[in-house]
């Protein structure tokens, strides 16, 4: 089974794509949800999973990494300015791509993210 099909099977809520350099991107766009956390206003939008291509291919340092996070715009309490944040970031790395997918399945918990609905 190809890696892209395996990702679609394990994370069916996400829209997956693969680019020419061997990187995979998955997006779960559930609309913007506004949440107050410790009096700060958070506008949470899409959840993104990024899987890199092979870093340092052909050497003994070769590895693949993946990140999963929810895009967040924060307005601190009693402030006018906002800033971008990555909420609930998970980082995994391994020597092979199939191990990355199994690590992501174990470590990514969609209940951590503030979503309107989980499909």
Instruction: Name the residue ranges covered by the structural domains of the chain.
Output: 3-100
Residue 118 has pLDDT above 60, yes or no: no
Secondary structure of residue 9 in the 3-state scheme:
helix
Secondary structure of residue 35 in the 3-state scheme:
strand
Cβ(101)–Cβ(10) under 8 Å?
yes
pLDDT in tens, 84-105: 988 889 999 999 888 988 898 8
Predicted local distance difference test score (pLDDT) of residue 119: 44
Residue 112 has pLDDT above 80, yes or no: no
Predicted local distance difference test score (pLDDT) of residue 50: 94
pLDDT in tens, 36-83: 888 988 888 888 999 998 888 889 999 999 999 988 889 999 999 999
Query: What are the percentages of helix, strand and coil residues in the chain, rounded to 5?
Result: 20, 45, 40
Q: Specify which residues 35 forms β-bridges with.
A: 42
């Amino acid at each position: 089974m190809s890696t892209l099909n395996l990702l679609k099977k394990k994370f069916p809520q996400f829209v997956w794509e693969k680019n020419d350099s061997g990187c995979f991107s998955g997006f779960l766009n559930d609309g913007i949800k506004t949440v107050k956390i410790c009096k700060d206003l958070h506008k949470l939008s899409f959840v993104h999973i990024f899987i890199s291509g092979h870093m340092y291919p052909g050497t003994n340092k070769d590895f693949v990494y993946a990140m999963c996070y929810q895009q967040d715009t924060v307005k601190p309490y009693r402030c006018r300015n906002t800033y971008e944040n990555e909420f609930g970031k998970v980082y995994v790395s391994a020597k092979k791509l199939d191990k990355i997918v199994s690590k992501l399945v174990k470590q990514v918990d969609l209940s951590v993210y503030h979503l309107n609905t989980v499909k």
